[in-house]
Each structure stands twice: as structure tokens, then as C-alpha cells.
Chain A
Amino acid sequence: MSILVRNVSKRFGDFVALDDVSLDAESGALTALLGPSGSGKSTLLRIIAGLETADEGAILLGGKDATAVAPQKRNVGFVFQHYAAFKHMTVRDNIAFGLKVRKRPKAEIAERVDELLNLVQLQNFGHRYPAQLSGGQRQRMGLARALAPEPQVLLLDEPFGALDARVRSELREWLRRLHDVVHVTTVFVTHDQDEAMEISDQIAVINHGRLEQAGSPRELYDNPASEFVMTFVGDAQPLGEALVRPHDIDLLTEPVDGAVEAMIVRVTLLGRDAKVELHDASGAELVVLMTRDRFDDAGYWRGQTVWALPQRERVFAETA
């Protein structure tokens, strides 16, 4: 089921959380809402779920206007950052909740819960209480609970935000694989660009309540529409009038047209990559990343004067 967000605005008192945001999420796609904290991305997700109401604009689910539909009638699955586990229920009862309130037959519920426990690899934890689970397990339970009533739309609000880095990347991969199996239209909120790049079909970058750009990860990286997108999706730094990514700079030992003279102040070897830090004549810092092979061939050294030549740079008229 597709999700269409049409000109949605939302204020909390004087604070503008969302300003005229429109976004399409195709049926079956995995969309990331990416932005810094306080950008309004969670508010947008909550408006799609019906947990908040938009001041203006409309939400269409599967082509039907759902703006005024109560959350319990939207048939969405929602996964919360802090799990929102039902603490007084076992894992089984948590997962069964959405089916029980729909008054499904007992046998059917038991079967579906077993299926989901397998899917999220919690087969042996059905009779535990949430307090007896680790963070990662709790969040898998949260996912199973959200998926149990077979929602048309799965919404995840920084689902891995409260977990440590290793569990995070495991769950991230797992979510991608799960999405390939379940094929439910999924929108998830994150402030982690790697997470967004790694698993989504589409990324919507949100900043200060406005949609900066929406597109595939590659589109955003290669053709950022604004300075904000360029710096937020992948690294970028100013070089003269333009913005340039650390990978897109050549270091030359001879001056050429368009190159900036700079001195190497620090060299760090990062496994396969080498990071070269430079200062230009005005003292501005510049970071250049290159492969170890290239670095070793050129044999750069600290204190060396080089000329930095951007291979691919961008100039944005308006600076945010």
C-alpha cells in the first residue's frame, strides 16, 4: 500500500515541526526519513500513523484519504525507539495483542504468534517478560508485535537508536532481509546516514521541518539538491567557493589551474584508506581520503606542499 504525504504542516506552539512536506512512498518500498534530531522526521512518521494530527495537509494510504482516520483503524504497524513493550505481558501476549483486540480465533492467534516468534528468532523466549530480554530482543519483539496483524504499512521510529553499535548493524541487516520477505511498505526514521544509505530504497532528507530532497541513496549522494543534503548524506567540506567530498580530491605535486595550494599536516592510515589532513594558505582545514595503494605510490609526507584539485565539486547558490 502506497503512502502519500500531501502538503503537511504541523506546529507545536511557536515551533514549526513540519512545513509543507509532501512525500511519496511507493507500495512495498523501504523509505528512510533522515535528518538531525528536532528536524521533524519523527513528527511526520507519527502523523502517518495517526498518533499526531497534521494542522494542514493530507495523508493518503493506498490512495484513500486517511487524514481523519483514528490510528487504530489505519492498519499500520508502529515500532517505537524505546520499544513500548507491554511490561505486564509475556512476549507471546505482546505479539498476540493486535490479534486479540481484533477478536481472532484462539487457534489462529497461536499459530500466527509461533510463526512470528520464528521470524524474529525468539522461539525460546515466548514465555519471558520484556524485562527479561536484552534491548535487541525487545526490539525484535516490538517488530513481531507490529507485524502480527499484517499491517499494510510498517513505521519504525529510530528503531535501533537505543541499541549499541554491533546489535544495531545486525538488526539493520536483518530488517533489510525481513523486508525482502515480508514486502510491506516501510518507513523508518533515523538520524544515521549510514543506516539510511545501507538499507533503504528511498531516502527523504528532512531539515528544520522541510523536505530537502527525496530520492534513491545514490541520487542523493551523487546529485545532492542542497548544501545541507550534501553535508548530511556523506561527508563534504568547503574548498574555495565549492563543496567537495574527501574522496573527490586529487593531490598533485605541481601547481595546475584550479588547484589550491596546501600543506600536509597529518597523515592517518585507516586500513584500506589513508586520510590526509591539510591546511591551505589561509589556514582552512581540508581532509582528503584516498586508497592505500594510491597513497603508497605517491609517498606523501607530513610538511609536504601539495596542490589539491577537486575532481567533482558543487556550488550551491543558497547557503543554509
Chain B
Amino acid sequence: MKRLLSRLGLRTLALAYLALILVGPLAVVFWRTFEDGFGPAWDALTTPETLNAFKLTLIITAIAVPVNTVFGIVCALAIVRRRFRGKGLLNAFIDLPLALSPVVVGLALFLLYGRDGWFGSWLDDRGIEVLFALPAMVIATIFVSLPFVAREVVPTLREIGDDQEQAARTLGASGWQTFWRITLPSIRWAVIYGVILTTARCLGEYGAVAVVSGRLQGETETATLRVQERYEAFDLAGAYAISIVLALIAILVLVAMTVIRPKEGTA
């Protein structure tokens, strides 16, 4: 009886905490958005600037996710399967974006690609726009969402060991065949999980992109920047509506993750 109580107590505490911190604010946003019905929310979502903001967010995500997936798998393979000088450094650097504030990342890019930055004048001479344009926003997003695939894949690679890869080699498989037929199928769940986390991070990125985008309405404004802009313009309905879409996408991603991820201990 006492154990049952303590179990129920723990459960209640955990759920109450989640409700207070996560679900409560989300529910309020939902409620405020649809306070006056669907009409105003729909109107706020379909302005050209807002549509452009969503388009931009999707484009950036569509570039950053594949890049970081490939990079993450390559890094994980290097860290787990190879021995080389500077491996510890690589391992530590992968976590850097998690530790570093995105604003600092944005500022660093600013210093690199700005007019007075290291590459700035060289790029400027050739008429290549990086800052206040898509390239800088993509680079910033790639930077902040870089660790997730590698961090998911590394422990899985360690766990499966290299026995199967060695077996494949002795059976006549080339390195490439071994990767596609043995390694990748073995780590597929970790990769999918990493991709989902990366996608979520890309969609939600704010700080770094805010610094390097210049926030030009209808041009270099992503969905998250648009929320802030609408909020500052006292268009609360607009801000809420965009937030809702972002929240829905996040929930969708989480649901996908729960459905896709195999039960603990299998695969």
C-alpha cells in the first residue's frame, strides 16, 4: 500500500511538473489562437510574409538535415571505428553546439562573413551574398543542429561492435558494400532518431539565425523569427497562429518518433 502510494505520488509529481512547464503554456497558446474562431488565425497564417517565412524554414531544414545526417554518420564511424590523432578533440567538438549559445554562433558567423570579417571582403568582391541571405542562415542552422545524428549513432555503433563488419569483409564485401548492407541497417533506428531530433532543432532554431539573417520581412525571416516580429508588432493573433503551426509540427515529430522507434531491446 505504501509502495503504491509512493508510486502514485511520483507519477503525480512528474505529470504535474510537465503540465505546469510544458502543457500549460501550449494550451494557453492554443486557446488564444482560436479564441475568435479559425478565421483570424487562418488570415494571419496566409499573409505573403508568413507563407514566405514557412517556406524559408522548410528550405533551410531541407538542406541542413541531409548535410548533418551524412556528416553525423561519417563522424560517428570515425569516432568509433577508426584510431587517429585528434579523435578526442573531434569527439568534444561535436558537442560544442550543445554547449554554445546560438547567439554566440550567429555572432561568430557574423565576424567571419561580415564585410570586415575574414572571408567577407573576398566574398563581397565576387558578389557572393552570405550574410543577411540564405547561405548564412543555412550555415547557422547546420551548426546548431550538428550533434544530434552523431550523438545517437555513436553509442549504437559501439554496442553492435565490429564483428559483423569483419564477417562481411571476410565474405568478400568491399568497404562500401559493408557499409550499405551491414553497418547502415544495424544503425538505422539511431539514424532515424537523430534525423528527427535534427529536424526538430532546425525548425525551432531562433538565436543564431536571428543574428545572421538581418530579419528582412518577406525575405530572410524564418517562421520563428516571424513569431517574434508579429509579437513585437502587437499582432498577437498572428504570433499565436504561427506558434501553433510550429507546435503542431513539433508534436507530429514527437509522435512520429514514438511510433517509429522500436520497443526497447529489439532491433
Contacts and interface: CB of A to CB of B under 8 A. Distances in A.
A51 B181 contact: no
A44 to B, nearest CB: 15
Interface stretch (B12-20, B68-76, B164-172, B210-218): B164-172
Interface in A203-229: none
Contacts of A70: 169
How would you classify the secondary structure of chain A's contact residues: helix, strand, loop or mixed?
A: loop
Contacts of A78: 166-167, 170
Interface string B162-190: 01101111111110010001100110000
A174 B147 CA distance: 50
Interface in A61-102: 70-78, 80, 82, 84-88, 97-98, 100-102
Given A51-B169, A72-B170, A88-B186, A101 B164 contact: no
A149 interface: yes
A102 B173 CA distance: 8
A84 B164 contact: yes
Nearest to A73: B172
Contacts of A85: 164
Given A72-B172, A146-B171, A84 B185 contact: no
Interface in B31-81: none
Given A80-B163, A87-B186, A101-B177, A49 B168 contact: no
Contacts of B160: 87
Contact of B169 (A71, A82, A86): A71
Task: Identify the interface centre among B164, B171, B181: most chain A CB within 10 Å of its CB.
Answer: B171
B171 A98 contact: yes
B133 to A, nearest CB: 43
Interface of B: 160, 163-164, 166-174, 177, 181-182, 185-186, 267
Given A145-B167, A148-B171, 5 more contacts: A74-B170, A75-B172, A88-B186, A101-B168, A155-B170
